[in-house]
Structure 1
Amino acid sequence: MARKYSKKASAKVGRAMRKRKSGTLKSGRSGKKVKSRKQAIAIGLSEARREGKKVPPKKGSKKSSSKRRSSKKKSGRKSKR
């Protein structure tokens, strides 16, 4: 079976986990210190994706965009009663 993630992507996640453990990993715009293990993994995978490494796309990104479009259409209509 083929690898889901490349070795370089795994290395990025490992680097993010080590930075989190040492307390130097910070999140995006806010720059707050990351404490969550899941958030550290997400940051590592995001960096790997940005560099073009073999990483599957985010889950549910297609569904959420279609849901947003359909909800906008529904909210824009007015009932004729």
Structure 2
Amino acid sequence: MVARKKAAARKTGPRNTTPGSTARKRAPKRWSQRVTRNSDALDLKRGVFKLTSARKIASSLKRSAETSSRRKSGAYRSALSMLTFYINRAGKTLPKTERDRLERAKVELRRQFGRE
């Protein structure tokens, strides 16, 4: 009888969900927020993607990329990656006007790094 209970427990998994149990924890809902905060890509200025002009966004990203000690690749690549990451994670909820401004910031970033 004991062997049957153990086998049943193995099939269904642990039922105890207290801390320290072996039950799986839920994945955090906002993983992209965690990636942005803890990423080794850049030390971004707060609210950089909400700036009013594409030139200001590009300048801020360039400054952050060039001064960051956390990035693993070149400054241009890190800045463009962060901008693209933000656009992609916002997805369909990003208003068209904001998306257009961020796309213009990509062009401006290329220009500021001399990669036209």
Q: Same fold (TM over 0.5)?
A: no
Normalised TM-score (structure 1): 0.32
Higher relative contact order (CA 8 A, sep 6+): 1
Normalised TM-score (structure 2): 0.25
Say which structure is richer in helix.
2
Rg (Cα) greater in structure: 2
